[in-house]
Amino acid sequence: MNTKGHASLARFRPPPRSWGWVRQGLLALIPLLFLGLFFFYPILSIFQISLFPDGHFDASGLRALVQKPYYARVIGFTLWQAAVSTLGAWVLGLPTAYLFARFQFPGKKLLRALVTLPFVMPTVVTAAAFIALIGPRGLLNQALMALFHLDTPPIRLLHTLWIILLAHVFYNTSVIIRMVGGFWANLDPRLEAAAAVLGAGPWARARHITLPLLFPAIWAASLLVYLFNFTSFGVVLILGGPHFATIEVEIYRTAVRLFNLPLAAVLAIIQMAFTLTMMALYTHLQRRMTAPIEFQAARRGQRPAKTWWEKALLWGMIAFLSLFLLLPLAALAVQSFRTPQGWGWAFYRALFINRTGSIFFVTPIEAARNSLAFALVTMLFALIIALPSAYLLSDPRPGRASLARWLDPIFMLPLGTSAVTLGFGYIVALGKPPLNLRTSLLITPIAHTLIAFPFVLRAILPVLRGMNPHLREAARVLGANAWHVWRHVDIPIIRRSLLVGLVFAFTVSMGEFSASLLVTRPQFPTLPVAIYRLLGQPGRANFGQALALSVILMAVTATGYLLIENLRVGSEEF
């Protein structure tokens, strides 16, 4: 070894073991302090106000829930509509997942991205898109009225159960397609081929080989879809109107409109208990999906459609899927340019006008600026919290690995808590000392950070866990200090996943509606809150401005999603 190498080795001193634990503690302190203040404290405050309002146990809130049949109907409707919506996503998603998994066709990658687009859309955009398509002033009603010379809209689905179910199927079908289709595409096709050689027909092969292997993926995707439908808020609130309420909607109405905080807290506890149970089942099924199965490259089991019925099925699916999943979004864009005076930009120009002059009403474009500012702060907060969390969970050393196994599910807890429950917890807990933040502008990006943090963590963590530790050791041997190791070794490797996480945080913040509706100040609305307000006001001008804002939010969300798809490391192909 040359003199320079000896000098580098002499400068290299491994950090003492005690310093490693101190550093580990400091890394854990950042996310745990944030979660303690802005997740566990609000959640415990909900428990306190519902079950211990005067410092001792009081079951009056529970009794009111049991004594009034209305709340039993709300809970029953929440469970029922979630089941029917999940069944609808099954009916459309499973055949599509099969076609994606087993066939090759032109434009497959583009179509896969397009069918995922509805799922990443904010709920207010989905609601506005369905109103633009099949609402009283929607494209379909206008076309039918003009075609048959009708005076009233023939399609009357707004504020009915059917439009809620349609929106949920539209919103969640892509979850079935992506999860089941991705798993299905990688199953070894030789298993079915061997069964066919032994005389098994198509139904027998599906029943005894394919379906048993797919069941974990099917049930995991179904649980996730059911959970999304169970916690549905924006779709039910906007499209369902006053006649329908899930538990999520009822928490909002009871807390904000009736100001019955103890009863809203009881509903929030029921919501949390159910969602956390569903998340535990989902995690269990995900572990079963990673059980030892001999997977193959997706393309090995795929082939072009050959027979006429295969081609008809494939292209029929593509046409129907494109119409069902993309037509509402296309109608939203088209309707935003249809003004009473003809085609034009009038609705977009009106976004810069404050017609009321009230200090509690801002121009719609200011809501977009608010959302942009909140999203940028959310990105910063999420980075500060998720990065040390990822380093903490990715440490492979035995003592640290056992700590990571405990901390990982704790960091994922916000993912299993509804945003309305979180916003309600902020109303209860953060309006008094020691954290009197109810009137602070920071409360909005804090709520958004808590929602986005698990996604950012999950974007960074796999890359850190897959890093070769010898790269850092080699840099230290060559004399690099901790800062230089992080800057010149870690950052180039995790840069893409870090950017994915930040784009995720930005997109989540821009489209977040449920918590924002509870915590934002009236004079500082976010983009989704402004859309909701405009949709609730009469008049063509308000409706047009809501559509224009929805198109802006749709464009931002779609751009963020496409960036994530292009930047993501190891994205699946099927």
Q: Are residues 321 and 381 in the same domain?
A: no
Most trustworthy range by pLDDT among 49-58, 157-166, 387-396:
157-166
CA dihedral 182, 183, 185, 190 (to 10 degrees): 170
Q: Which helix (H) or strand (E) holds 342?
A: strand 342-343
Percentage of the chain exceeding pLDDT 70: 86
pLDDT at 298 over 70: no
Q: Give the residue-averaged pLDDT of 547-563.
A: 91
What is the pairing mode between strands 342-343 and 338-339? antiparallel
Q: Are residues 307 and 416 in the same domain?
A: no
Q: Which phi-psi region, left, alpha or beta, contains residue 335 (left: φ > 0; alpha: ψ -120 to 50)?
A: alpha
Asked whether 450 and 379 are in contact (CB, 8 A), the reply is no
SS3 3: helix
Last residue of a domain, one of 295, 310, 335: 335
pLDDT score at 292 = 46
Q: Which helix (H) or strand (E) holds 303?
A: strand 303-304
How many domains are contained in the chain? 2
Last residue of a domain, one of 310, 335, 360: 335
Got the DSSP string for 439-474?
Answer: TSTTHHHHHHHHHHHHHHHHHHHHHHHTS-HHHHHH
Strand partners, 436: 431
Cα angle 554, 560, 566 (rounded to 5 degrees) comes to 135
Q: Are residues 473 and 518 in the same domain?
A: yes
Last residue of a domain, one of 335, 352, 382: 335
Of 160, 125, 536, the residue nearest 332 (C-alpha) = 125
Q: Is residue 355 part of a domain?
A: yes
Q: Are residues 157 and 299 in the same domain?
A: yes
What is the pairing mode between strands 435-436 and 431-432? antiparallel
Cα angle 250, 252, 258 (rounded to 5 degrees) comes to 85
Q: Is residue 220 part of a domain?
A: yes
Asked whether 164 and 123 are in contact (CB, 8 A), the reply is no
Q: Are residues 369 and 326 in the same domain?
A: no
pLDDT score at 61 = 67
pLDDT at 297 over 80: no
Q: Are residues 28 and 117 in the same domain?
A: no
pLDDT at 531 over 80: yes
Asked whether 548 and 347 are in contact (CB, 8 A), the reply is yes
Q: Is residue 169 part of a domain?
A: yes
Q: Which phi-psi region, left, alpha or beta, contains residue 363 (left: φ > 0; alpha: ψ -120 to 50)?
A: beta
Q: Is residue 171 part of a domain?
A: yes
Q: Is residue 127 part of a domain?
A: yes
Q: How far apart are CA 145 and CA 135, in angstroms?
A: 13
Q: Is residue 6 part of a domain?
A: no
Q: Is residue 259 part of a domain?
A: no
Q: Are residues 412 and 482 in the same domain?
A: yes
Neighbouring residues of 125: CB distance < 8 A, sequence distance ≥ 6? 329, 332, 511, 531, 550, 553, 554, 557
* Residue-wise pLDDT tens digits, 1-54: 455 444 444 444 445 544 455 566 677 788 989 999 999 999 888 888 887 777
Q: Are residues 490 and 394 in the same domain?
A: yes
Q: Are residues 378 and 459 in the same domain?
A: yes
Examine residue 212 and say whether the peptide bond preceding it is cis (omega within 30 degrees of 0): no
Q: Give the residue-averaged pLDDT of 170-178.
A: 89
CATH number at residue 125: 1.10.3720
pLDDT score at 328 = 93
pLDDT score at 333 = 94
Q: Are residues 544 and 475 in the same domain?
A: yes
Q: Is residue 114 part of a domain?
A: yes
Q: How far apart are CA 71 and CA 253, in angstroms?
A: 12
CATH number at residue 478: 1.10.3720.10
* Residue-wise pLDDT tens digits, 330-350: 999 999 999 888 889 999 998
Q: Are residues 363 and 459 in the same domain?
A: yes
The pair of structure tokens assigned to 234 is: 């924006």
Q: How far apart are CA 220 and CA 287, in angstroms?
A: 10
pLDDT band at 355 (very low <50, low <70, confident <90, very high): low
* Residue-wise pLDDT tens digits, 445-494: 999 999 999 889 888 888 887 777 777 778 777 777 777 777 777 788 88
Identity of residue 444: T
Place of tokens 């995922």: 116
Q: Are residues 412 and 552 in the same domain?
A: yes
Q: How big is the chain, counted in residues?
A: 574
For residue 285, give its domain range. Answer: 90-246+273-335
